[in-house]
């Protein structure tokens, strides 16, 4: 996929236990394609587990822990990738948290926290990653992870606004940095079943409802998101930038009212 010799930085690259979330899947798939991967997670042990999984397949990766809501830490994170592997070509911004409720129900504290984690982190990471890409690799590719909630709001107002901002940021950066030979795209996952979801607890009925909400009536996983990320970061997507790739099994094609009537 044109990734041999490339260096990738993936934020949110850990996952609980041996589970495979969006970030861990992207790390493993990028390594399988020949990239060297800096796996970043707030919990170093989770990033180290991802690295161990990559190493078991013969891939190259290193683990690191940084707080991507802090500019100085993002700068240090990018420097770590360049120091370890000599360059930076690829970035997967995968960090995010959720929230529920309307603007009336939401607290100011949660609003600011969600925006800081979901939007500020991507702004700060890209602010430092893009100059490194230009200097060390002559360009590169970035994928920001959004959500179908940005395209079809459903009572998750703060989360929806933050993920909509991710799409707008993606498009703006694509325009700003095309001249620098940097492509910037976005992946908008649907209701995929990942450790972040099932660690909070989910009934089998709720899980089945999510599965049947898709047109394909199959369950999405972190691997589905990871494959989309790898494609958009690869040379196969060389003529694609500013695009939002929806990965949801067709869930956004169905009206919420239809889902509630059927389920």
Tell me phi and psi for residue 221, to 5 degrees.
Answer: -130, 175
Tell me what pLDDT residue 259 has.
45
d(CA 3, CA 85): 14
How far CA 207 is from CA of 7, 97, 155, 201, 260, in Å, comes to: 36, 19, 19, 10, 14
Residue 182: closest CA among 88, 47, 109, 53: 88
Tell me what pLDDT residue 103 has.
95
Tell me what pLDDT residue 189 has.
96
Query: Sign of the CA dihedral 210, 211, 213, 214?
Result: positive
Question: Which pLDDT tens digits describe the chain residue by residue (263 residues)?
Answer: 789 999 999 999 999 888 999 999 999 999 999 999 999 999 999 999 999 999 999 999 999 999 999 999 999 999 999 999 999 999 999 999 999 999 999 999 999 999 999 999 999 999 999 999 999 999 999 999 999 999 999 889 999 999 999 999 999 999 999 999 999 999 999 988 877 776 667 778 877 888 888 899 889 999 999 999 999 999 999 999 999 999 999 999 986 654 443 33
Where residue 6 falls (left for φ over 0; alpha for ψ -120 to 50; beta otherwise) is: beta
Choose the catalytic residue: 159, 193, 198, 239.
159
d(CA 75, CA 126): 10
Listing DSSP states for 68-90 in one string gives TTSHHHHHHHHHHHHHHHS---E
Residue 261: closest CA among 217, 219, 221, 209: 209
198 belongs to the catalytic site: no
d(CA 241, CA 142): 9
Catalogue all structural domains in the chain, each as residue range(s) with its CATH number. Answer: 7-262 (3.40.50.720)
Tell me what pLDDT residue 208 has.
83
Tell me what pLDDT residue 213 has.
84
Tell me what pLDDT residue 200 has.
67
Residue 142: closest CA among 20, 11, 248, 31: 11
Tell me what pLDDT residue 261 has.
35
Which residues on neighbouring strands pair with residue 7, listed in sequence order?
36
d(CA 20, CA 196): 10
Tell me what pLDDT residue 206 has.
76
Contact between 62 and 68 (Cβ < 8 Å):
no
């Amino acid at each position: 996929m044109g990734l041999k010799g490339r260096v990738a930085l993936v934020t949110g690259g850990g996952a609980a236990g041996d589970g495979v979330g969006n970030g861990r899947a992207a790390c493993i798939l990028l390594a399988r394609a020949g990239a060297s991967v800096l796996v970043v997670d707030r919990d170093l042990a989770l990033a180290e587990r991802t690295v161990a999984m990559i190493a078991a397949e013969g891939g190259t990766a290193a683990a690191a822990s940084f707080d991507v809501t802090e500019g100085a830490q993002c700068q240090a994170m990018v420097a770590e990738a360049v120091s370890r592997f000599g360059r930076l070509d690829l970035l997967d911004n995968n960090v995010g948290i959720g929230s529920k409720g309307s603007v009336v129900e939401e607290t100011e504290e949660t609003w600011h926290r969600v925006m800081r984690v979901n939007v500020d982190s991507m702004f700060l990471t890209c602010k430092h990653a893009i100059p490194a890409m230009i200097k060390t690799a002559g360009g590169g590719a970035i994928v920001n992870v959004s959500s179908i909630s940005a395209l079809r709001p459903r009572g998750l107002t703060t989360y929806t606004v933050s993920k909509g901002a991710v799409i707008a940021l993606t498009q703006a950066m694509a325009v700003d940095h095309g001249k620098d030979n940097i492509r910037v795209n976005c992946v908008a996952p649907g209701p995929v079943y990942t450790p972040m979801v099932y660690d909070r607890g989910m009934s089998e009925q709720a899980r089945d409802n999510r599965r049947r909400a898709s047109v394909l009536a199959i369950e999405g996983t972190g691997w589905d998101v990871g494959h989309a990320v790898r494609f958009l970061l690869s040379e196969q997507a060389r003529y694609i930038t500013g695009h939002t790739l929806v990965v949801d099994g067709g869930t956004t094609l169905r009206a919420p009212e239809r889902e509630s009537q059927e389920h």
